[in-house]
Each structure stands twice: as C-alpha cells, then as structure tokens.
Amino acid sequence: MTVKITVGLDGTETGERALTFARDLASRMEACELIVAYVIEWSPFTFQTPEENATRHKRREEEIEIATSRVVAPAVKSLQDAGFAAKGVVRHGDVAETLNRITVENGASQIIVGRVSNDGFTKRLFGSSTQNLVMHADVPVTVVG
C-alpha cells in the first residue's frame, strides 16, 4: 500500500525544511507518494473594483503559473530525480482549508508544513494558517521548525 503525504510549501526556507523532512520520512517507507502543495492565499471576501474583477481570472491563472514554475515544479522534479513518487498541486484559497482539502482529495494520511513566524495584528485577530491547520485538519499535521 502506498502512503501519501502532503507537503505544504510557501516558497520560504521553512517550506524547504518541511520538504527535507518529508523526503527523509518518505525514504524510510517502502512506498510513499509526496504531494507537493502550494496555496496562494485568496479570500472570496476581498472587495474589488469593477476593473479588478475584469482581470481577476487572468491574474489568478498567472499566479498559479508563477507558483508552479518557481516553487512546485522544481521541488517535484528534485524529488522525482531522487527516485520518489511526487506530484504538485497549486490552488487559491484559505491556506489551512485548502491544504486539508488537497490532502483529503488525494487520500494522504499526513500533512507536513513549516512553521512561519508571522507576528502582527492579523495573526492576533485570526490566528496563523499553521495554527488553523493543526486545529482543523482531518489528518495528523507535522510542523517543522
């Protein structure tokens, strides 16, 4: 049976540490697929001008292409070159909800993410994406420091 693990990347050093941890964990298993996921923070509640709404879909597609080419594709290629089964997913949405959804849709049994220090008013008001993921995920979450 193949074990599937979702690795949440964010283009930072902590994301790279999460990927390294996941790679090490996968190397200890007989059959493991790594799902490299990148979530572009996006809220349906953002208020936009009519001009912004007209270009919104195109902008979203461009953001997906950039995240795929700069972060996800190189990570997936590196994993595949090292002999790991891996695929990439890039989506827009709430980070915690979307990582959980990607995990459930792909039948993964764990999520690995990096801890990002994000101080400020927004975090105090809403909590961090990592906190929300740990509290609400359908599978175990490993947070790499």
Q: Which domain holds residue 38?
A: 3-144
**Residue 23 CA from chain centroid, whole number:** 15
- The CA distances from residue 45 to 41, 58, 122, in Å, are 12, 18, 15
Tell me the pLDDT band of 129, cut-offs 50, 70 and 90.
confident
CA atoms of 114 and 98, how far apart (whole Å): 16
What's the mean pLDDT in 20-40? 97
- Angle, vertex CA 69, rays to CA 109 and CA 137, nearest 5: 25
CA atoms of 137 and 143, how far apart (whole Å): 13
**Residues above pLDDT 70, as percent of the chain:** 87
Tell me the pLDDT band of 38, cut-offs 50, 70 and 90.
very high
Q: What is the pTM of this model?
A: 0.87
Domain count, the chain: 1
CATH number at residue 67: 3.40.50.620
